[in-house]
A = this chain, B = another copy of it.
Amino acid sequence: MLGRETMRYAIGIDAGGTHLRVARLDPEGNILNKEMLVVGTERTADIFFKTLSEKIRLVAGAHRKDLAGIGLGLPGICNQKEGVIHELPHYPHWHDVPVIQIMKEGFSCNVVFDNDANMAALGEHWKGIAKNLPTFIMLTLGTGIGGGLVLDGKLWRGEEGFAGEVGHMVIEADGKECVCGNKGCWECYASAGAVPVGKTAEGFSKAADEGDSEAKKFWEKFGHYLGLGISNLANITGVEHFVLAGGVSLGWPHFIESAKKTILKGAYPRLAKKIVLQKTSLKGEAALIGCAFAVFQTSKI
């Protein structure tokens, strides 16, 4: 821990399909205070960044002058080189939004940003269940499915930062319609998007706890599709370790056996037996912690 006089803070921001979380963290990745709000239906970049700035000021409070930097995890395609977020399927009005420029206008500190699943992967790798794993895939099961690929100790972002859009892997040609405009994307079958309209993952999880057969059937099918996508990822990348987080991972006890069964059938037998699924150990805070990592230790991964 740094001395009081040099103590600086990071602001971590985790923007998902439904929630916005803003936290202040110390250089050890401890969350000191946090705000959360539901993202409204008005999702233009203007409204988003106005709300975000207010929350950052609220969370930073008297420590605003002690900020080392701000880290943003956003659920879309982040172009690190240009400081621009190209697309966010769950924020349909956003196209080529200059995130870094906008943030720099309001705050004088360092600003870093990345896909929310990448930030969650950094968090798990720094402080969570993936601490000792040089290679793993982070899966955030929320409104969609985000992916963060850590390969041999490094976050793999692809040729231009577009890697990890695993939720839009098609697993059912001509299947369900996806928010991205395509059909049959994995996240239509194994994220909150798979939950029938009017129901919630939380409700279905409680119902399954109580033995409700419709809910149990839902999670079994969910697990099957989850396993199918994980088999695909394993067959393609040869990665054996998967860390699952996000709101829908609530249903874990009800979908995990079904997921494992499908993986044993879907991935190469020798590989299938080695696949390990683990639940986040950071609860809902992996991305926030990853943001702090990105602020304090950009050179490390």
Please judge, given known A-B contacts A87-B270, A165-B268, A168-B268, whether A237 and B173 are in contact too, CB under 8 Å.
no
Tell me, yes or no, whether A246 is within 8 Å of chain B by CB: no
* Chain B, Cβ-Cβ closest to A165: B235
Name the segment of A1-9, A36-44, A49-57, A151-159 touching the other chain. Answer: A151-159
Please judge, given known A-B contacts A147-B236, A151-B156, A266-B182, whether A271 and B170 are in contact too, CB under 8 Å.
no
Contacts of A240 in B (CB 8 A): 158-160, 162
- A264 CB to closest chain B CB, in angstroms? 11
In-complex Cβ contact of A159 among B135, B157, B164, B181 (8 A): B135
CA distance A86 to B164 in the complex (A): 29
Please judge, given known A-B contacts A87-B270, A156-B151, A159-B135, whether A233 and B231 are in contact too, CB under 8 Å.
no
* Chain B, Cβ-Cβ closest to A274: B160
Tell me, yes or no, whether A171 is within 8 Å of chain B by CB: yes
- A110 CB to closest chain B CB, in angstroms? 25
Contacts of A286 in B (CB 8 A): none
CA distance A241 to B86 in the complex (A): 20
Q: Mark A67-106, 1 if CB is under 8 A from B, else 0.
A: 0000000000101000000110000000000000000000
- A interface residues, tally (CB under 8 Å): 50
Tell me, yes or no, whether A265 is within 8 Å of chain B by CB: yes
CA distance A123 to B170 in the complex (A): 30
- A170 CB to closest chain B CB, in angstroms? 6
Please judge, given known A-B contacts A160-B240, A160-B274, A238-B163, whether A232 and B86 are in contact too, CB under 8 Å.
no
Contacts of A284 in B (CB 8 A): none
Please judge, given known A-B contacts A182-B266, A239-B158, whether A171 and B171 are in contact too, CB under 8 Å.
yes
Please judge, given known A-B contacts A173-B172, A266-B170, A266-B182, whether A238 and B156 are in contact too, CB under 8 Å.
yes
In the complex, the answer to whether A265 meets B182 with C-beta atoms within 8 Å is yes
In the complex, the answer to whether B171 meets A225 with C-beta atoms within 8 Å is no
Contacts of A180 in B (CB 8 A): 268
Tell me, yes or no, whether A203 is within 8 Å of chain B by CB: no
23 A-B Cβ contacts within 8 A? A77-B271, A79-B270, A86-B269, A87-B270, A151-B151, A159-B240, A159-B241, A159-B274, A160-B238, A160-B274, A162-B235, A163-B236, A163-B237, A163-B239, A168-B266, A170-B231, A170-B232, A171-B172, A171-B173, A172-B172, A180-B268, A181-B265, A236-B237
